[in-house]
Amino acid sequence: MPLFFLMTLVTGVITGYLFKRNDDEITYIAGVLTAVIFIVSLVLAPWQIQFGLLIFVFMITNKLLHKHKNWL
């Protein structure tokens, strides 16, 4: 399984971390860039990782729905 999709993810995380200390407009730009790069890395990820993430999202959503159903 090729892991080249991790290059974009690691680049985005490093960019976000480096500009986290600044409180300028560049910080907001870096945050948006990191979010876009994260989405691109998920698109480039192999289907096994995408499928695992999909199952994880369904489990979390199901728990949240049951939690709010009991809350009402």
6, two tokens? 């991790």
Residue 55's pLDDT is 94
For the stretch 14-64, pLDDT in tens is 877 777 777 677 777 777 877 888 888 888 888 898 999 899 999 998 888
Higher pLDDT, 40 or 12: 40
Instruction: Indicate the pTM of the whole model.
Output: 0.57
Higher pLDDT, 45 or 6: 45
Distances from the Cα of 44 to the Cα of 2, 16, 32, 70, angstroms: 10, 20, 19, 38
* For residue 72, pLDDT beyond 60: no
Residue 52's pLDDT is 92
